[in-house]
Every structure is written in structure tokens, then in C-alpha cells.
């Protein structure tokens, strides 16, 4: 579980830095338009959202409350793998080292 926690923290820190840089240095409307005009930009976005959806399946399988599912999945779709990294940390700390609990939560 230690390596999972380390990777989760690296993900949170990396995503915080790049999202912060994008807000400071970028223009969402202009830069987003560039992405959508480039075929590989579209591929990247589709790839990203397929990953978000697949990761969200894990969230839905782990969470017991529908409200928690909805909040985590919505955050995943908006904030991407910043949320994914936070969720990995949540699952890792809740599991207390038990791999089944890490994967399935209280449903294990």
C-alpha cells in the first residue's frame, strides 16, 4: 500500500502544479479551441474521457452511498485525475493495507 500512497501523492502534487500553471499561463477558451481543431487533440480528449469513465466505474463499485458516487464521479469528469489521485489516496488510507478493501471498499 505504501507505493500506492506515494503514487497517489505524486499524482495530487503533479496535477495541482499543472492545473495551477494552466490557470495562470493559459487561456481555456483559446487553448481548448486549438485542441479541438487538431485531430490528435480530439484523440487525446476521447482517450482521457474513456479513462475517466473506466476509473469512475471503480468509484461506483466501491462507494456505498449514491450521493458520494455522484460527487466523486462529477469531480472526476471536471477535475480529471486530480480527483482520481485523491480517490486513490482515500481508498489506500481507508483500506489500512487490506487489498480487498482497497479495491472494493466496505463491499469487500
Which pLDDT belongs to residue 107? 81
The position carrying cell 449514491 is 66
pLDDT value at position 1?
Answer: 87
Q: How far is it, in rounded angstroms, from Cα 22 to Cα 63?
A: 31
Tens of pLDDT, residue by residue over 13-41, are 999 999 999 999 999 888 888 889 999 99
DSSP summary character for residue 107? G
User: What integer pLDDT is reported at residue 93 of this predicted model?
Assistant: 96
Q: What is the pLDDT of residue 13?
A: 97
- Predicted local confidence at residue 18, as pLDDT: 95
CA 19 – CA 26 distance, rounded (Å): 10
**HEC per residue, 49-106:** HHHHHHHHHHHHHHCCCHHHHHHHHHHHHHHCHHHHHHHHHHHHHHHCCCHHHHHHHH
Residues of the chain with pLDDT under 70: none
- pTM of the entire structure? 0.88
Cell of 72: 466523486
C-alpha cell at 58: 471503480
Amino acid at each position: 500500500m505504501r507505493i500506492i500512497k506515494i503514487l497517489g501523492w505524486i499524482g495530487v502534487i503533479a496535477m495541482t502544479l499543472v492545473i495551477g500553471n494552466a490557470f495562470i499561463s493559459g487561456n481555456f477558451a483559446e487553448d481548448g479551441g486549438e485542441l479541438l481543431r487538431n485531430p490528435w487533440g480530439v484523440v487525446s480528449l476521447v482517450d482521457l474521457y474513456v479513462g475517466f469513465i473506466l476509473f469512475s466505474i471503480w468509484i461506483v463499485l466501491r462507494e456505498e452511498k449514491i450521493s458520494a458516487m455522484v460527487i466523486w464521479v462529477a469531480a472526476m469528469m471536471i477535475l480529471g485525475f486530480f480527483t482520481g489521485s485523491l480517490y486513490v489516496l482515500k481508498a489506500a488510507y481507508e483500506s489500512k493495507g487490506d487489498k480487498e478493501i482497497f479495491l472494493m471498499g466496505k463491499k469487500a
